[in-house]
Amino acid sequence: MTVTKVVVNSWNEWDPLKHVIVGRPDGTMIQAPEPAIIRDFSKDGLPKGLYGPLPDDMLAMATEQMDSFAALLEKRGIRVDRPTPLDFSQCVSTPDWTQKTMFGCMPPRDVLLTVGHEILEATMSYRSRWFEYLCYRPLLQRYFQEDPNFRWEAAPKPRLTNAAYKPDYWDEYRTWTEDQKAQAMRTGDWILTEIEPLFDAADITRAGKDLFVYHSSVTNSAGISWLRRHFPDHRLHPVYFRETNPIHIDATFVLLRPGLASVNRQRVPLEPRMVELFKRNDWELVECAEPALDGYPPLSFCSRWLSMNILMLDPKTICVDAQEAKQMEQFDQLGFEVIPVPFGAVSAFGGGLHCATADVYREGKCDDYFPHQIGGY
Ligand code: ABU
């Protein structure tokens, strides 16, 4: 009898993790201005529009923390692969545009979405991140050779012309009333137009047959629609939260185990059907603990809510940033074995423990955790 080797398999956020990609902080840039984003770290001494590599001392600390995290996972018997960084300081172009720098490859979760035997390369919606998938190609090629059932997919590469972005969006946004901002939060009316499908993989969270997709500033309706058509055997639910700088679901709404999710205490859900769906299926939504930090970490575009950016090793074991004492205590009270992982130095490189990883293999199969659905949602 021939036994087929399964390399890629992961249907949710909590089944026992056996194989994972952990990113690398090497060469990460504060990216050059582009239509989607102009970095402004004036409070950290880097005025709006300036760009360049993150400082060497920060890189050394982030490297040390990421390598230790990878070693911790390996010690627990989890296979760890790492991407191949590019020279992110290089100028890149397509026939449509030129972008003075790329970004980095610390957060594989932003680029790679694993659903069952498939790994899907996201479109991404920043020009500086258009080529980031190349860092993962050596790994994906290897999985393709090792696993005859691996579905290697890439969403249509977007053109990202100026027409993909609303002109003068950020200038206008600054003049908006609170009501206008509230309306944007409820409808996902952010900088992206609907000219082509756009999404980051980190806007999606997985629970077996159900996928929840955040209509954030880096994912548009066309992106959600493309995902729905791409995963016809799944139920795909758009979600919205109270946050004026929305990027990715994994510091906002985090699935912990069947029946339990952590909800950001500030970024409350704005889609009543989502809340109803969880209620109907007896899920408990627990408000996250207060984060350790007051504001954004230095030179970081990620918020203090990385406190809830965790990695589940199995339904009972959770990796949490070691500086998040209150969050760890809450998880402990919820019955988890908490593994504190020093990771604060990695924030500026693009995120926390969930961002820094992408699932390759978790035990388990596609189960239905939401048998009681809501018509039309
Ligand atoms: N994946 C990054 C999360 C960023 C944030 O919510 O601040």
Please compute the mean of the pLDDT values over residues 337-345 and round it to a whole number: 98
Whether pLDDT at 2 is above 80: no
Per residue in 15-60, pLDDT (tens digit) is: 999 999 999 999 999 999 999 999 999 999 999 999 999 999 999 9
Per residue in 306-338, pLDDT (tens digit) is: 999 999 999 999 999 999 999 999 999 999 999
Vertex 282 angle, CA 276 and 283, to 5°: 80
Q: How far apart are CA 115 and CA 376, in angstroms?
A: 23
Q: How far apart are CA 26 and CA 346, in angstroms?
A: 11
Q: Which among 205, 206, 209 is positioned nearest to 373, based on CA atoms?
A: 209
Cα 325 to middle of ligand 1, angstroms: 19
Ligand 1 mutation target, pool 309, 310, 354, most atoms within 8 A of CB: 309
DSSP per position, 187-217: HT--SB-SSS----GGGEEEEBTEEEEE--T
Q: Report the pLDDT value the prediction gives residue 10, as an integer from 0 to 100.
A: 98
Ligand 1 mutation target, pool 13, 190, 250, 307, most atoms within 8 A of CB: 250
Share of the chain above pLDDT 70, in %: 99
Size (the chain), residues: 377
Q: How far apart are CA 30 and CA 93, in angstroms?
A: 18
How does the average pLDDT of the chain come out, rounded? 97
Residue 235 burial (CB count, 10 A): 18
Please report which confidence band the pLDDT of residue 4 belongs to, taking 50, 70 and 90 as the band edges.
confident
* Ligand 1: residue whose CA is nearest its atom 4: 302
Structure tokens at 157: 């590469």
Q: Which among 185, 225, 231, 223 is positioned nearest to 206, based on CA atoms?
A: 231
Residue 245 burial (CB count, 10 A): 11
pTM for the full predicted model: 0.97
Per residue in 196-210, pLDDT (tens digit) is: 999 999 999 999 999
Please report which confidence band the pLDDT of residue 1 belongs to, taking 50, 70 and 90 as the band edges.
low
Cα 90 to middle of ligand 1, angstroms: 25
Query: Are 228 and 261 contacting, i.e. CB atoms less than 8 angstroms apart?
Result: no
